[in-house]
Amino acid sequence: MATTESGEFEKALARLETIVAKLDGEEIDLDASVALFQEGKTLARRCEALLKAAQEAVERAAVDGDAESELRPAPTSRPKTTASGLFDDAVDDEVPF
C-alpha cells in the first residue's frame, strides 16, 4: 500500500457516501444520476482494491512473522544429550491403565 496516497481509502469512501446520499435523497435529473452512479461504481471498485491490497499486506506480514518464529528454536525443558533422553517425552505422555 506504499504506492497509494495516505488516506485515499477514507477519501474515496467519504465521496461514495456523499454520492449515495445524493442519489437517495435529492431530486436530481437522470443525466446527473447516471454520472453519479458511474462515479460511485468507480469509487467502489477502488475501495475494494485498496481493501484487498491492505488484506494482502496484513497476510504477508503475518506469514513473515510466522517464518521468523519458526527460525527460532523452540524452548526445551531439559536437554536431550543422551540416547535414553530421546524417549523420555514418550514415557511422560503415556497414560497408565
Condensed to tens digits (0 to 9), the pLDDT of residues 14-39 reads 999 999 999 998 789 999 999 999 99
Predicted TM-score (pTM) above 0.95: no
Architecture of domain 1-71: Orthogonal Bundle (1.10)
Give the integer Cα–Cα distance in Å for 86 and 83.
6
Q: Are 54 and 6 in contact (CB under 8 A)?
A: no
Sign of CA dihedral 41, 43, 49, 51: negative
